[in-house]
Amino acid sequence: MKDGSMLRNLSVNKLIKKALLNKEVVQAKSGALVVYTGKYTGRSPNDKFIVDSPKVHNQINWGKINVPISETNYQKLFQKTSDFFSAQKEIYVVDVLVGAQKKHSIKLRVYCQYAYQALFSTHLFRRPTDVRTGRDLSLQNFKPNLTLYCAPSVLADPKTDGTNSEAFIVLNIDKKTILIGATKYAGEIKKSVFTYMNYLLPQKEIFPMHCSANIEKSGKTTSLFFGLSGTGKTTLSADPERRLIGDDEHGWSPQGVFNFEGGCYAKCIRIKKESEPQIWSAIHRKGALVENVVLKKDGDFDFDSDKFTENTRAVYPLEFIKNSIASGSGKHPKYVIFLTADASGVLPPVARLTLNQAAYHFLSGYTSKLAGTERGIIEPKPTFSAYFAGPFMPLKPMVYLNLLKKYLKKYKTRVFLVNTGWIGGAYGVGRRIPVYETRNIVTAVLSGQLDRGDCRHDKIFNLYVPNKVPGVDQKILDPALLWPDKKSYLQTAKNLARLFVENMKKYPGVYQSIINSGPPAL
């Protein structure tokens, strides 16, 4: 690649001007930028690969998620990508950090075809600055530990390149390189880097987590929210009464919790100012980058429209959230909340978990995959994604499970399961649990009000459900009470419990004590 064509570490304002000048984006009335990503409006999991090599072969949990590609085919794709960038008049280069704890961070260099991709990377990752002077260190002897090339105009040929389509997201662990082609969806940048961190950190006994994190204003009590896309990680962690550490990707080390990122990537379909004021405000700031949201004739956002996708997104730097923590770090968590969005309408909205129950539900990672998050998902679909992050965890299951148990036990962290899904019936019949009810549940958890107290035992799911939660309508604590047809509820609940049992059979090495902590075989 030609050095003369490289635009290195441009400021946010310059990237905005470039993106507008190149007509990559349009500008909303608020000053935010909007990009339309074409047919790729979500992650493309069938186009993701890891290069198989002798070094990593026995470490990777190969299967439908972690799919191998040969070094030979990687080289073909790398050559295509390299040739493409060499022919460009302008290439955007961004140098950033991944990981707020210096001891466990990496240096990332991103080569981008488009200015909006460089803006995305600048917002999302952590900018390398001198903590004493605030001076930008991007150009001072920056030697990347990981290099990512993102070129949507480069297309794979499945017949010769070993891919499934024109799109490719390829991680080469040996060469510390990521290739992304054919897709303009910026979330591929984020999640491919996350996958690399999830390979790297466990080898240092650091626990990588797909979770959001916040902390009391006093700085004493840190809380984590695990969950797949659409379960409420971003929404529930952006709490005006608490300070935000980060909304999606964190590590847990002996020094505490730390954010991998320096920005947020929030879903914004049907977002309301009243229920999510902080995120609403951040999206409307000048410099925010919004994906696939329809603009009205007056240039304002139409968040209710799913014309292009349900998976509308916005990326913005963490400082757009007023009460965020610039350091991206917090103390060891006192509470962990596992979030699920159950579209079958039968899981209770909150349950208190033992250590073995926590291990069971961490390995299960149950939710209903919501429309738009991945290509081809039109309506909610039951899914089990281990660690609430299966698509991004390349190592074998027991690695992550053992790290969870180690940290929970060592720091005496309490765990709760919170369902943000449907009540009164399944999707299409019932209604989603109101955000204010979920917020009240979370407030009760984080204030310690549910640490003790009477619980009923849900025999179908083997869960202990608090009988009372301050500020929450008692009727919603027992899903069966809101179903007009009790037989239908019972059958639906048993069907879901069977899915849990069947899913756990994928993990033959799991202790029986953990198996016994989930739903019983019916």
Catalytic residues: 43, 191, 210, 229, 233-234, 248, 313
- Interhelix angle 355-364/397-410, rounded to 10 degrees, is 150
- Report the alpha-carbon angle 92-292-325, nearest 5: 65
Q: Which helix (H) or strand (E) holds 19?
A: helix 12-21
Distances (CA, A) of 383 to 93, 133, 484, 519: 37, 48, 26, 16
Rounded-to-integer distance, Cα 186 and Cα 37, Å: 8
Write the DSSP symbol of residue 99: -
DSSP assignment of 51-89 equals E--TTTTTTB-BTTTB-EE-HHHHHHHHHHHHHHHHT-S
Instruction: Answer for the pair 384, 364: CB distance below 8 angstroms, yes or no.
Output: yes
Instruction: Answer for the pair 67, 84: CB distance below 8 angstroms, yes or no.
Output: no
Sequence-distant (6+) residues with CB within 8 A of 506 are none
User: How far from chain centre, in Å, is Cα 347?
Assistant: 22
- Partnered with residue 178 across adjacent β-strands are 148, 171
Q: Collapsing DSSP states into helix, strand and coil, what is residue 318?
A: helix
The encoded tokens of residue 476 equal 């919603």
Burial code (b: 16+ CB inside 10 Å, e: under 16) for 446-469 equals beeebeeeebeebebbbbbbbeeb
Residue 494 phi, psi (nearest 5): -65, -40
Write the DSSP symbol of residue 324: B
Tally of CA atoms within 13 A in the half-sphere of 427 that contains its CB:
16
